[in-house]
Structure formats: C-alpha cells, structure tokens
C-alpha cells in the first residue's frame, strides 16, 4: 500500500512543485487513493466523485463572487486611484513649502514613499481589473491610460520635491513664491475635485485656475530674466529654477491627460464603450 501511495503521490508532488496552481494535487491523490477503503467504491468512481465535488465548489464560489459578494476588481482599482489622487493633493502643499523654508530630507522621502506605496496598490488592483475586463462580463473603460497618467503625475511630484530642496534665493523667492503657492493650492484643489469626479463618475473639473496660476508664474519668470537678475545666480540656483518651470509644464500637461482619462469614466462614455464592445462581438482568445 505504501509503495502504491508513493507511486500515486510522486507525479502529483512534482506537478505541485513546478506550478503552485496545482498545490492541491497531492491531497487529491491521497483522497482518491484512500477513498475506496472508506466508501467501498472503485478508484474510478472515487476520482469521479472528487471531480464532481471540485466542480460543485467552483460553481458555488463563482456564484458567491458574482451575486453575494460582488467585490469587483474594477471598482477596487477606481477606489485605489481615488485614494492616490487624494494623497497627492494632500502632499503637494508639503512639497511646495520647500520653496520658502528648509525641509528635512526624511520628510521629503516619507512623502514620496507614501505616494509610491499608493501607486503600487493601484498597480496591483489595475492588473486584477485587466484580467476581469478580459472576461467581457461587463464592458468597462480601460484603466491603462489612467494608470500611466497617475504614474507621470507621481514623477512630476518627484521633480518638484527635488527642486524644493532649499528656499529660492533673494528676489526670486519674493516674486516667485506667491505664484508657486497659488499653483500649489489650485493643483491641490484640482486633484481633490478629480478624485471626487472619479469616485462619482462625473466629468473632469475645469483647469482654468491651474492655467491662470501657471501663466502668472511664467510671466513673472520671464520678467526676471528680462531684467537680467538670473545672471547673478549660481549654477545650482539657475538649474533649480529651470527645473521648477519644466516640472510645472509637465504637471499641467499630465493634468490635461488626467482630465481626458476622467472623461472616459463618465456614464455616457461608458455606455458608448459598452455599445462598441457589444457590436465588436466576443473577445478573441
């Protein structure tokens, strides 16, 4: 009996070691082997009963996941994206304050780490939502563009944090910091409004206040350059000021991308996606 059990278990154990999805194979082999000694049935009948048991369990689990506890990955991914937008909105003023006062490197690292952890959670949920979307049980907007946009926004905040390692010098701090503070407030408000719009499946908020603040900062930095005040700055200060301008331009560009992504999640757009999916027919394997 022990020799026969070893022969039955050997391929099942090898299969489970090679692929974790077959981790229940050794236990199934033991049940099939000892089943006839308990139920007084043949090995074929015992194996058939085991297959029926597994099939019934799979059907019950599928019905529970779809009817009783329909925790869909798409909704979890949207929730994770909403939480990341809220986190970036709260973190933005903490980063911009570095243009007026010194920030501890551990503080900056903590802010970036929190945002990175939120994106990792979103990435995991979006992967599950992609698998769910492939089943075609329900047409949903593709979350890949939203994921890419949030990753780019995270990179924008990293650039802002690197430029805010020290306060702006002299007249640049006096003339640019008010516009930077206004930019911080308007972008934070836009991210809060975007999180609310994504959560309620509404259209994107307007970008007027963000663009006004960005235009004001660009006008002020142009006036400083025309006055020749940048000539007295050190190379490090000049590099930081141009890095700020580049980061703000990228931030505005990616906020526009975010607005387009939010428009994809509105009910009207989702209905159009569902109609297009229905007309396209079943998904190809």
Range of the domain at 18: 2-68
For residues 54 and 189, membership in a common domain is answered with: no
Q: Look up residue 12 and give its two tokens.
A: 């099942």
Residue 281 is predicted with a pLDDT of 42
User: Could you give the CA distance from residue 157 to residue 150 in angstroms, rounded to a whole number?
Assistant: 11
Domain end residue (candidates: 27, 52, 68): 68
Domain end residue (candidates: 68, 96, 124): 68
Q: Which residue has the tokens 């306060």?
A: 167
Rounded to the nearest integer, the mean pLDDT of the chain is 81
285 lies in a domain? no
Residue 276 is predicted with a pLDDT of 41
Query: Going by C-beta distance under 8 Å and a sequence separation of 6 or more, which residues neighbour residue 40?
Result: none
Structural domains of the chain, count: 2
Asked if residues 251 and 160 have their Cβ atoms less than 8 Å apart, the reply is yes
Domain end residue (candidates: 68, 86, 105): 68
For residues 131 and 38, membership in a common domain is answered with: no
For residues 45 and 163, membership in a common domain is answered with: no
Q: What is the pTM assigned to this prediction?
A: 0.69
- Name the CA dihedral angle for 66, 70, 71, 74, rounded to a multiple of 10 degrees: 70
221 lies in a domain? yes
For residues 96 and 148, membership in a common domain is answered with: yes
For residues 59 and 112, membership in a common domain is answered with: no
pLDDT less than 50: residues of the chain = 270-285
Residue 284 is predicted with a pLDDT of 37
Residue 212 is predicted with a pLDDT of 92
For residues 176 and 235, membership in a common domain is answered with: yes
Residue 37 is predicted with a pLDDT of 64
């Amino acid at each position: 009996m022990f020799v026969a059990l070893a022969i039955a278990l050997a391929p099942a154990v090898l299969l489970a070691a090679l692929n974790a999805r077959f981790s229940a194979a050794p236990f199934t082999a033991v049940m099939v082997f000892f089943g006839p000694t308990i139920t007084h049935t043949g090995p074929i009948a015992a194996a058939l009963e085991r297959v029926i048991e597994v099939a019934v369990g799979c059907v019950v689990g599928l019905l529970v996941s779809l009817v009783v506890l329909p925790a869909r990955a798409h909704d979890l991914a949207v929730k994770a994206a909403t939480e990341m937008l809220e986190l970036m909105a709260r973190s933005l003023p903490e980063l911009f304050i570095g243009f007026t006062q010194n920030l501890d490197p551990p503080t900056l690292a903590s802010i970036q780490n929190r945002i990175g952890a939120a994106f990792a959670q979103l990435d995991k949920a979006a992967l599950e939502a992609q698998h769910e979307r492939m089943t075609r049980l329900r047409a949903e907007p593709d979350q890949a563009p939203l994921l890419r946009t949030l990753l780019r926004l995270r990179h924008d905040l990293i650039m802002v944090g690197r430029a805010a390692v020290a306060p702006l010098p002299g007249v640049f701090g006096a003339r640019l910091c008010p516009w930077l503070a206004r930019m911080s407030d308007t972008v934070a408000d836009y991210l809060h409004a975007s999180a609310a719009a994504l959560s309620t499946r509404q259209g994107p908020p307007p970008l007027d206040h963000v663009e006004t603040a960005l235009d004001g900062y660009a006008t002020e930095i142009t006036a400083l350059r025309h006055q020749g005040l940048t000539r007295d700055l050190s190379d490090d200060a000049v590099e930081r000021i141009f890095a700020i301008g580049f980061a703000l331009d990228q931030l505005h560009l990616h906020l526009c991308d975010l607005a387009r992504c939010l428009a994809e999640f509105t009910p009207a757009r989702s209905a159009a996606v569902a109609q297009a999916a229905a007309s396209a027919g079943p998904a190809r394997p």
